[in-house]
Amino acid sequence: MKKSVFTILLLLAVGFSVSAQNISFSARLQNDSIIVGEQTLISISAEIPPQTQVTAQQFADTICDKIFLIKDLEAKVENGKYTKDYLITSFDTGINAISPIRFMTISGTDTNEFTTSELYLKVKPYILIDTIPRDTVFAENAGTVLFGKDGFSKEIEQYIPDSIKQSMSADTLQMLREEIKRQMIQQYASQVMQTGFTNQEQIDSIANADSHRMFVVDKDIMETHYVYGSVDSVFVQEGQQVAKGDILFTLFEIEDINDELYNTPFNWDEFWYDVKAFFSKFWWLILIVLVAGAIIFYVIYRKKHGKSPIPMIKVKPKRPAHETALEELERIRNEKIWSRGQVKEYHVQLTDAVRTYIADRYGIDAEQMTTSEILDMFNVAVPIDNEDKQRLRQMLELADSVKFAKFQPLQGDNDLSLRNAFDFVEHTKEIIVNDPKAINVQAEIEADKVVPQEQNEKQE
């Protein structure tokens, strides 16, 4: 399935490549709500390139404040997918924040650090088990257990790198998602059919069903159940064979619980969780209040002072990217820090100047891109001469060798990198055509002139 998916990506993205910068470590809680002292899992997953080593953040007894680590489970890598679980618990009721977890990847000479998103775990107080009516659900038929797949929505988003999402139109991106989904369902169907369940229409319905849906299938779907979440104990897993009468899950129906049990102490994590939830839900209301406040302030100030509260400022136009780049390169040449043994610093300054120029010249975030990403960009999206590509390649790859492999270049190599940097900027600089209408335009910041003028008006 991976080969077919990546074939689609290559055809639609026209040569976009997935590098270490496109790795995304996602984290999710097996249950985002537990009873105090109950255990749950933090599951980490990421798609990683071949020959990539992953090092996870090490913990002692706690993941973070109020979240205790019970077991750090061994990581697994299968078919390019990295997975790792942490078994955790908490004894502090309320909503507790789980800080992002750090991961480091090493691929060749490239080392990168990634973090997961912040998670929130709701911890409920103890509830007497005698007060909770329980309903144990048994299998009414023999068959195979399957769970809904949510249309493989999460898996699809993981397969499509951000660089490809940003390069496509909304319609093309939707076509890509639909094609990947079709192939995932086809692959899923081929696996399920090995159990003897061959009804393609029903397999499609299971693949598109909510992940809380549980199905027992044989030749057809024999029975369907809904597993409600963290208050359920599930005793079966995907693909498990069950006999009639086997326990599927136990449903806890919490009723008539005294509200006093939830009067927990003040918790800052819970406070900020509620604040974030409010802002995310009512952001439009906050925006309206801010705009209305700005209008009222403007009207009052205008009425009181008879003029705008904000001085009009004419901003000096930004200098062309090649001018600042050439000045920086000239400074590097004059300082000659490589002659004082600072070879690594020399190449860092040199590549930083060129990366900044590329970012300003072409409007891309070259400062955060790897060497291979920059070179791929010029091969695919930005046309330049082959000689300029070779100049850029020589300079960036030599700098990487010096920075990461501790390579000691010869004097001629240092001079060549500087010369190639100058030539690259000169050959790719933007040619600006003078506009006759802009000759007499004042382009200086006149904010300093506004204050004395206002003082003269007050004196008059």
pLDDT, tens digit, 9 for 90 and up, residues 50-64: 888 999 998 988 888
Whether residue 66 contacts residue 72, with contact meaning beta carbons closer than 8 Å, is answered with no
Q: What's the 3-state SS for 233-301?
A: EECCCCCCEECCCCEEEEEECCCCCCHHHHCCCCCHHHHHHHHHHHHHHCHHHHHHHHHHHHHHHHHHH
Length of the chain in residues, anyone?
Answer: 460
**How far apart are alpha carbons 285 and 109 in whole angstroms?**
49
Phi-psi region of 196 (alpha: psi -120 to 50; beta: other; left: phi over 0): left
Contacts of 425 (CB under 8 A, 6+ apart): 322, 325, 326, 329, 354, 357
Confidence grade of residue 389 (pLDDT, cut at 50, 70, 90): confident
Kindly state the tokens that stand for 33: 């709500």
211 pLDDT band, cuts 50/70/90, is confident
- Residue pointed to by tokens 């078919």: 79
Predicted TM-score (pTM) of the model is 0.32
Please, which pLDDT band fits residue 445 given cuts at 50, 70 and 90? very low
Matching residue, tokens 């819970």: 270
Burial of residue 94 (number of CB atoms within 10 Å: 0-12, 13-18, 19+) = buried
For the stretch 393-403, pLDDT in tens is 898 888 888 88
Consecutive H or E run containing 96: strand 94-98
Q: Which of 123-132, 315-324, 381-390, 415-424 has the lowest average pLDDT?
A: 123-132
The vertex-341 CA angle with 338 and 344, nearest 5°, equals: 65
Q: What is the pLDDT of residue 107?
A: 85
Instruction: Write out pLDDT tens, residues 101-147.
Output: 999 999 888 889 999 988 988 888 765 444 454 677 889 999 999 99
CA gap 108, 50 in Å, rounded = 11
Cα gap 10→66, rounded to integer Å: 45
Rounded to whole angstroms, the Cα distance separating 351 from 365 reads: 14
**What secondary structure letter does DSSP report for 22?**
G
Averaged pLDDT, 14-26: 58
Instruction: Tell me how far apart the alpha carbons of residues 444 and 442 are, in angstroms, rounded to a whole number.
Output: 6
Q: What is the DSSP letter of 4?
A: H
Q: Is the pLDDT of residue 311 over 70?
A: no
- Given the DSSP bridges, would you call strands 119-124 and 33-35 parallel, antiparallel or unpaired? parallel
State the Cα angle at 52 between 26 and 164, rounded to 5°.
55
Q: What is the dihedral of CA 90, 92, 98, 103, to 10 degrees?
A: -40
Q: How confident is the model at residue 229, as a pLDDT?
A: 56
Q: Token digits for 244?
A: 């009639």
Please give the torsion angle defined by the CA atoms of residues 186, 187, 192 and 196, in that order, rounded to the nearest 10 degrees.
70
What is the average per-residue pLDDT within 147-153? Answer: 89
The superfamily CATH assigns to domain 1-126 is Immunoglobulins (2.60.40.10)
**Residue 169 CB-half CA count within 13 A:** 2
Whether the CA torsion 353, 359, 365, 369 is positive or negative: it is negative
Q: What is the pLDDT of residue 363?
A: 84
Q: What pLDDT sits at residue 432?
A: 66
Cα–Cα distance, 244 to 242 (Å, whole number): 7
What's the order of all strands across the beta sheet hosting 232-234? 134-138, 247-252, 232-234
pLDDT averaged over every residue in the chain: 79
Distance CA(358)–CA(374), nearest Å, equals 9
Structure tokens at 306: 């008879």
Instruction: Check the CA dihedral 446-449-451-455 and report its sign.
Output: negative
- Phi, psi of 210, deg, nearest 5: -60, 145
Q: Which two tokens stand for residue 441?
A: 């335009």
